[in-house]
Amino acid sequence: MRSMLMLLALGGALAAPAYGDQHGDALAWLQKMAAAAQKLNYTGTFTYQSGDSSETSRITHLVDASGEQERLEVLDGSPREVVRSNDEVKCFLPDDKVVIVEKRGQHKAFPALLPASVGSLGEHYHIRKGDVSRVAGLDSQLVTLEPKDSLRYGHHLWADIASGLILKARTVNERNETVEQFVFNQLQINGVIDRATLKPKFDAEGKAWRVHNARASQSLSAGGEWLFKTQLPGFKKSAGMRRQARQEGGAETTHFVFTDGLASISVFIEPLMDQKAEKATYSVGAINAYKRVAGKHLLTVLGEVPMATLMRLGDGMELRKK
């Protein structure tokens, strides 16, 4: 616990400053990790594991006068490619001959998992330094974030001691079981990066592809007709937007994002129309999802948080009375 019962005598007086120093050091490490993912040039391969499934991806990240450029290529299964130029993201799906273009969302991707400012994370997580170990041939410092409540998962982050870049990230549930894990297998930091390696492999085929512009009309006041009666401590609405349907004639979807700085929850609201929907829960990898019908609308709440958290938020939603 961050706040402990005051211990009697001298031992208690000495324990508190030691804990404060340790917490501050761990928080400084998180800030170093957050900055490294945005400011360093790096390229390497990493493996994502969730349950019995895993996939390997190659990532290249370059920072120069034009800003951040990044390319992610999935090396297993169906080919997929994500290319980012600052806030614009293009996702290439070769099997469907589709390119999805959108602005960078609130969801953080490995190894840029942390917000720019990490100071508020200590309000809802116990943050501690762990042991030093080797990951991808580099010495790494472990920092753990243990949730102070049952609304969120725990996180174990291993950072390169020299640069601060996250080399390994593990998400754990309340039983300390691994929910998902990312780990670099091979990595080069601050080496020379050829800009040609950042170009999408499938860009030359663009004329034969369908382009779906998923850019949304963003406004925190979007969906103001909806009332969230149940608040989740620490989770604040960071985005509100209206998304156009991917298919002509489809219904517009309202999308909210709530985050505590580390974990994020998305809420999608769409007209029920002629859909037949029932209350349901399901999981895809580390992402849990909860669906329910509210009047003439279908609500979908999803995120990398416990199912009970999603149900608590979703069950507290209702249309404002006119």
- The residues with which 157 forms a beta bridge, in sequence order, are 143, 169
Q: What is residue 112's predicted lDDT score, i.e. its pLDDT?
A: 95
Q: What is residue 159's predicted lDDT score, i.e. its pLDDT?
A: 98
C-alpha–C-alpha distance, residues 183 and 193, integer Å: 21
CATH of domain 216-319: 3.30.200.100
Q: For the chain, what are the domain ranges?
A: 12-208, 216-319
pTM: 0.86
Q: What is residue 253's predicted lDDT score, i.e. its pLDDT?
A: 87
C-alpha–C-alpha distance, residues 188 and 174, integer Å: 34
Q: What is residue 207's predicted lDDT score, i.e. its pLDDT?
A: 63
CB 318 within 8 A of CB 310: no
CB 183 within 8 A of CB 136: yes
Q: What is residue 107's predicted lDDT score, i.e. its pLDDT?
A: 63
Length of the chain: 322
Give domain 12-208's CATH number out of 2.40.50.100, 2.40.10.10, 3.30.1540.10, 2.50.20.10: 2.50.20.10
C-alpha–C-alpha distance, residues 184 and 187, integer Å: 7
User: In tens digits, what is the pLDDT along the chain, a chain of 322 residues?
Assistant: 333 222 222 233 323 333 445 678 999 999 999 999 999 999 999 999 998 889 999 999 999 999 999 999 999 988 899 999 998 999 999 888 888 888 876 567 899 999 988 999 999 999 999 999 999 999 999 999 999 999 999 999 999 999 999 999 999 999 999 999 999 999 999 999 999 999 988 765 556 788 877 665 555 555 678 889 998 999 998 888 877 665 555 678 899 999 999 999 999 999 988 777 789 999 987 899 999 999 889 999 999 999 999 999 999 999 887 6
